[in-house]
Structure 1
Amino acid sequence: MPKFDLSMLLSGPYSGALLSGFLLSIELSLLGLAFALPLALVLAVMRLVPVRFVQWLSLSYIEVTRNVPLLAHLLFWYFGVPQFLPRPITAWLYSHDYEVLSAVIALVLYSAAYMAEDIRSGLRAVHATQHEAGRALGFGFFQTLWLVVLPQSLRYTVPPLINQVLNLWQNSSTAMAVGVAEMMYRAQQISSATFRSFDVFAITTLAYLTVSMLIAALSHLYQQRYPVRSI
């Protein structure tokens, strides 16, 4: 049985590969968050717009997206969508790191569906009198949401949104399924090359756990600093 020794992985030739995979996982998560959050806000507002067709569009997207596994989304965007494009464009995509782009698209669309429901719940948690106050000031529907309701809803929406960031970080590992060289992909490569699976995945697990604990600590600190109170 091989001896448990992390020195070769932490300081040897494979340390750079693990680090690059870790940084790419961080990058996938940050890109996913940067694009998912605005999309989620749009979807949440669509659920509240007093137009039934607009509400139906948002609800349909959210329900369909949340009831299909993330891996299916990822494989659809990587293998399925390019088949509907002209062959030169498909060839160009696959030769220019399309696996990363498809992973970001899947993470954004999947995460936005969950974030939208958290934002909508926060907006609905603000008392109806705040909507009436905005109208009394002469604001329209969207101005009332943006200037009056949304700032007050942050106490309700931020904690669950931080939890969604945690899910996004963990879900970034699915990108290995389409060949994205993120942390799990690199760990699998190194494990196959060195036959030190326990060592490699111990480091990988510790890396995921460390970032996850930091995100959880951020959520706890925010809730301590801004406790939820009735509005």
Structure 2
Amino acid sequence: MTGFDLSAILGNPEYRSLLLQGIEMTFVIYMGSWLLAMTLAILLLAFRMSPLKVGNPIVAAYVSYHRNVPTLVQLILWYFGIFTLLPQGFANWLTDHNAEAIFAVIGLGLCQAAYFSEDLRSGLRSVSPGQMEAAKALGHSYISALRFVIMPQGVRNALPPLINHSVSLFKNSSIAIVVGASELTHAVKEIENLSFRTFEIYLVGTVLYLFFSLIIMAAGAYLSMRADPVGRAQA
């Protein structure tokens, strides 16, 4: 099969259907793992800021593990390791409910939580200590000062790294192919096997990843602008 023919991919209903299914599963994995990561990151941050002395070393160990072990290895450990240790009945239920996607969400979410928690922690640490003192002087309690004064500033400061890591999470969803999740990269590989149009289908896959990554970056830039008082005033 010779010659470049993009219509051989885009003009085929079966290939288009595979691509759409892959895109849908990619966003299911991305959004699921993002929500898991952000929820866990907030809990880790709260645990680290708690009066408990064991909180900081435990969270530090969690962050160190997930930041130093490759995400691919963590996904393989979850699907090919932990999955096999589950009770047979529960394992069968997971298999019937797309276990590949579920473990991809778990693996990616737990890993990304380490990065999100550090982003949020850095954002809070960048807030001047005088802000807490000023809030208390105005009559705020500790919790009220955190909620209305410290946290809004900390989250605003943390937005740039949070956006960068959100884009990285979207791109890392592609490694879910190693556990058999039928996301976009998996769909591209299937279409290559069916069409033998390697360059065309990988070009389509590249453009799709670039397009959706740019959309996420644009949404993040908009949020950063809206969170910035100066940006709101200029808008």
Q: TM-score, normalised by structure 1?
A: 0.90
Counterpart for residue 66 of structure 1: 67
Task: Determine if the alignment matches structure 1 residue 153 to structure 2 residue 154.
Answer: yes
Counterpart for residue 139 of structure 1: 141
Q: In the TM superposition, what is the alpha-carbon distance from 1:2 to its structure 2 partner?
A: 1.7
Q: Any conservation in 2 of the 1:22–1:182 contact (CA below 8 Å)?
A: yes
Please show how residues 70-85 of structure 1 align to structure 2 within 5 Å: 70-85=71-86
Distance 2:152 2:144 in 1: 12
Counterpart for residue 233 of structure 2: none
Give % identity: 36
Distance 2:219 2:98 in 1: 33
SS in 2 for 1:113: helix
Moved more, 92-101 or 159-168: 92-101
Counterpart for residue 6 of structure 2: 6
User: For residue 8 of structure 1, what is the amino acid of its counterpart?
Assistant: A
Q: In the TM superposition, what is the alpha-carbon distance from 1:126 to its structure 2 partner?
A: 0.8
Q: In the TM superposition, what is the alpha-carbon distance from 1:222 to its structure 2 partner?
A: 4.2
Distance 1:177 1:18 in 2: 18
Counterpart for residue 215 of structure 1: 216
Q: Any conservation in 2 of the 1:45–1:120 contact (CA below 8 Å)?
A: no
What 5-or-longer segments of structure 2 have no aligned partner? 231-235
CA RMSD across the alignment: 2.0
Counterpart for residue 32 of structure 1: 33
Please show how residues 101-112 of structure 1 align to structure 2 within 5 Å: 101-112=102-113
Q: In the TM superposition, what is the alpha-carbon distance from 1:171 to its structure 2 partner?
A: 0.5
The alignment covers a number of residue pairs equal to 228
Counterpart for residue 126 of structure 1: 127
Moved more, 6-15 or 185-194: 6-15
What 5-or-longer segments of structure 1 have no aligned partner? none
SS in 1 for 2:80: helix
Cα–Cα, structure 1 residues 106 and 116, in superposed 2: closer, same or farther, change >3 Å? same
Q: In the TM superposition, what is the alpha-carbon distance from 1:224 to its structure 2 partner?
A: 4.7
After superposition, the C-alpha distances for 1:117-154 in whole angstroms (9 at most, x for unaligned) are: 000000111111222234443523x4432332101212
Distance 2:196 2:136 in 1: 66
SS in 2 for 1:3: coil
After superposition, the C-alpha distances for 1:83-105 in whole angstroms (9 at most, x for unaligned) are: 32222322332233111100000
Counterpart for residue 15 of structure 1: 16
Q: In the TM superposition, what is the alpha-carbon distance from 1:65 to its structure 2 partner?
A: 1.1
Distance 2:222 2:176 in 1: 30
SS in 2 for 1:14: helix
Counterpart for residue 96 of structure 1: 97
